[in-house]
Amino acid sequence: MPTVRLALAALALGAVLGGLGAGTARAQAPLYLVNDSTTVRSLRFRYVDSKTLQPAQLKQQIATKAPGFFESGWRRSLYRLLPLIGEPGVYPFDPITLQKDVVRLERYYRRNGFPRPAVDYLVRLDTTDNDVAVLFVVAEGPPLLIDSLTFAGPGGTPAFEQLDPALQAEWRAFRDRIALQQGERLTDFRLVQLQDQALGWLLEHGYAFADVSAEARVDSVALEADVRIKMTAGPRARYGQIVVEGVESVSERVVLRELPFAPGEPFRQSELTEGQRQVFSLNLFQLAAVDVADSLSSRDAGLVGVRALVRETDPRVITGFAGYSSAGGLTATAQWTHRNFFGDARSFTASLVGQSGLGAVEQDPEIAYEARLSLRQPYLFNRDLSAAVEPFARYQDDVVERSTQYGVSANLLYSRGALQTLTLSPAFSTRTVGSDSVSLVDPSTLLPGSAFSITRTQLRLTGALGRVDDALNPRRGFILRPAATVTSPLLSDVEYGALSLTATGFLPFGRRAGLIGRVTGGYLLPLGSTDAAAPFDYLALRDALYFAGGTSDVRGWPSNLLGPKFIDFVAVDTTVTFEEFASDPGVDDPVTEYYRRRYSVRYRPVGGEAKVSASVQVNVPLPLGPQWGASAFVDAGRVFDPAGGLYALFEQNAPAQFPDLPFLVDWLRSDDPAFRVGAGAGVQYLTTVGYVTLALGYKLNPSAFDLRDPVEVFRAADIEDLDPGPPDLARAPAHWTKRLQVHLSIGQRF
């Protein structure tokens, strides 16, 4: 061992002189000059042989700490300038603590299957800044490997002899799967894990009174270990008495019906966990624990007593949420819930949702207000089945339409977990749309009155299937969300069917970094006599058609404006004449200025009957504090108008006073409806209401109209023949700034 120490010290000295001292004027000073004010400047690890345990793991085991890459310089400057940057830490140096760290590291290596580690250190002091650079030099040594793995019963008999003959095939499969771990490094944690795996198998197969221990016989010369798992299975058990403790206003029956087992049934450990989840999901308890009660159990009789311990919470709760998105501006939600409405764990909720449009970045903010009542029955003939009835009213004013909607929906939910659900939702609604909000066609020639109503009865089936590490903030796994909708021929002004699927995948790398991918596809099929290119049917289908673009979709484009679009124009000042601008020497382009003053001109999305979109985003931490993160993303999408009928609708029903409008329609139709791709990056800050995200999207392959001001395109079409000659799109210049789109949201990370 002294020889190893000497070699480590020599290597450490060479590493410090060659690595830490390269390119610097800092001089080595004797360590007796270290005082109480000395701080740690840097902390590094150098490996002599192998590098099994990473520096990030080793740093967690020691008390000596060093500042991060940005903390010594950038962070101290930012801390003085920005209010959200955490204060830089102080990292004192203590020689005694450093020596204790050597012991900690060697013990850590032994626990992790390296019986002969050797750790040394070298410290370099800079008296100018009174700080030190610390280098740990690590020789891991050879690992301790598992040579054999056996399972034994009492007295050394084979373990399977204790088991029910019907379970022996399953046991052999489990044993052989565990035996594949021979040749692996044996750690303290691995030994306990092998013991827990064996005990878990027995508990899951009814052996509630099983006793399992693990021991390792180590050959210190060959560094091999023979691992023996000792098992005493005991009798197979059944559930005995089940008691509920802690209920006051809630009936015991409500708790018992959520448990997936009953007295007399075979015992399974996983059913206790599932029962606890089911009880807690009622939202009636701040504590719910379901576990074996030794005082109620009998080993001789093979009966396992179970205690369900709960602690009730206030059944009435008021919640609120405020947020922001660049498309909808300031948003707010308020909700009042009674979670035991007339008993039986029935819940009643009244909610208000408002999206004001205030502060929205988009030219046409998405304004919406909704009021909804909900009555939910959590147990409907089965613990996995629940039902709800929800009447609602909604007002909407956005780039698509201005409408008022009333209706009622019901939900029949089948749930086997947070991401194993199936929901059947019949709904009836009537939507009244203001004719003056629909300017893509001339409503006065198509629909009588100032508004028209759309009635719809539909049946929607949605599901969720996934497996993630954390349902609230997933970093690993996948989620599938299919949906299917069909309308009824009765009480429906339009008929259609629709299918959609969204697949999301999560892949972590590092402690806080990760990759997220999402693919979405949808298709709408008109049925019966419904024709999306007919004026009324198109207007009735607008909330069922597909659109793309926006903060939660393909970033780089404004909300809904990726894909087919039309130019919407409304005369706002009919008293303006062209001569007023033509005679003004201060106006460079009188034609454009005339259109800009006389009309409100903007792009309106056409929508489509099909859509495909995809997104990939990388999230990484920022060295500004644990709440800070950054992201880089690439999004792509396309909206399809399969037959081109939607453009024909606008061409055929254009207002007659604009004879050149068909030229504009031809231009828009000729815009290649290819897959549009956007890329960008953003900064995220985690608050109590979720992530605040500021992102900048960049259109990689925009269409010709994505880069042009709608007023200038409108002018170039010579709608009023102010500039004689054929329409000329060249008079509508492309603007590179329109490749950029700012996206701001609160409460949404991806």
What are the structural domain ranges in the chain?
A: 2-139, 145-232, 238-312, 316-398, 416-528, 545-750
Q: Burial code of 83-100, b = ≥16 C-beta within 10 A, e = fewer?
A: eebeebeebebeeeebee
Q: How far is 440 from 462, CA to CA, in rounded Å?
A: 32
Residue 712 makes CB contacts below 8 A (sequence gap 6+) with 592, 731, 732, 733
Residue type present at position 499: L
Does the domain at 238-312 match CATH 3.10.20.310? Answer given as yes
User: What is the fold of 145-232?
Assistant: Ubiquitin-like (UB roll) (3.10.20)
Asked whether this chain's domains 2-139 and 238-312 adopt the same fold, the reply is: yes
The residue among 137, 95, 145 whose CA lies nearest residue 118 is: 137
Backbone angles phi, psi at 711, to 5 degrees: -65, -40
pLDDT of residue 202: 93
- Token look-up 């303290």 returns 188
pLDDT of residue 41: 87
Beta bridge pairs of residue 98 = none
Residue 744 makes CB contacts below 8 A (sequence gap 6+) with 324, 325, 326, 361, 551, 693, 694, 695
Neighbours of 481 (CB within 10 A): 17
Q: 536: helix, coil or strand?
A: helix
Q: Contact, 85 vs 625, CB < 8 A? A: yes
pLDDT of residue 575: 82
In this structure, are strands 39-47 and 329-338 parallel, antiparallel, or unpaired?
A: unpaired
Q: How far is 394 from 371, CA to CA, in rounded Å?
A: 7
Q: How far is 532 from 169, CA to CA, in rounded Å?
A: 60
CA distances from 136 to 90, 97, 98 (A): 21, 13, 10
Tokens describing residue 536: 């009324």
Q: How far is 360 from 277, CA to CA, in rounded Å?
A: 41
The residue among 149, 123, 120 whose CA lies nearest residue 137 is: 120
Contacts 24+ apart (CB under 8 A), 480-488: 484/460, 485/458, 485/459, 485/460, 485/461, 485/544, 486/458, 486/459, 487/456, 487/457, 487/458, 487/459, 487/527, 488/457, 488/458, 488/459
The residue among 118, 150, 108, 146 whose CA lies nearest residue 222 is: 146
Q: Contact, 611 vs 640, CB < 8 A? A: yes
Q: Contact, 101 vs 120, CB < 8 A? A: no
pLDDT of residue 644: 56
Rg for the chain, CA atoms, rounded: 35
Q: What is the DSSP letter of 16?
A: I
Strands (E), 108-209: 118-126, 131-139, 145-152
Q: What is the DSSP letter of 522?
A: E
In this structure, are strands 224-232 and 145-152 parallel, antiparallel, or unpaired?
A: parallel
Q: Burial code of 295-317, b = ≥16 C-beta within 10 A, e = fewer?
A: eebeeeebbbbbbbbbebeebee
Q: How far is 38 from 34, CA to CA, in rounded Å?
A: 6
Q: Contact, 310 vs 255, CB < 8 A? A: yes
Neighbours of 454 (CB within 10 A): 21
pLDDT of residue 576: 81
Q: How far is 112 from 52, CA to CA, in rounded Å?
A: 10
Residue 569 makes CB contacts below 8 A (sequence gap 6+) with 439, 599, 600, 601, 714, 719
The residue among 535, 531, 599, 589 whose CA lies nearest residue 567 is: 599
pLDDT of residue 325: 75
Neighbours of 714 (CB within 10 A): 25
Query: Whats the size of the chain, residue-wise?
Result: 750
CATH class in words for 2-139: alpha beta
Q: What is the DSSP letter of 393?
A: E
Residue 298 makes CB contacts below 8 A (sequence gap 6+) with 240, 305
Q: What is the DSSP letter of 548?
A: B
Tokens describing residue 50: 């192998």
Q: How far is 501 from 399, CA to CA, in rounded Å?
A: 25
Low-confidence ranges of the chain (pLDDT < 50): 1-3, 6, 9-10, 12-27, 443, 445-448
Q: What is the DSSP letter of 143?
A: P
The residue among 176, 185, 168 whose CA lies nearest residue 150 is: 176
pLDDT of residue 557: 92
Helical H runs in 281-440?
none
Neighbours of 60 (CB within 10 A): 8
Give the model confidence (pLDDT) of 279-334 as tens digits.
Answer: 988 889 989 999 999 989 999 889 999 999 999 998 899 998 887 777 788 889 99
Residue 273 makes CB contacts below 8 A (sequence gap 6+) with 290
Give the model confidence (pLDDT) of 685-713 as tens digits.
Answer: 887 767 788 999 999 999 888 888 888 88
Q: How far is 651 from 643, CA to CA, in rounded Å?
A: 14
pLDDT of residue 374: 95
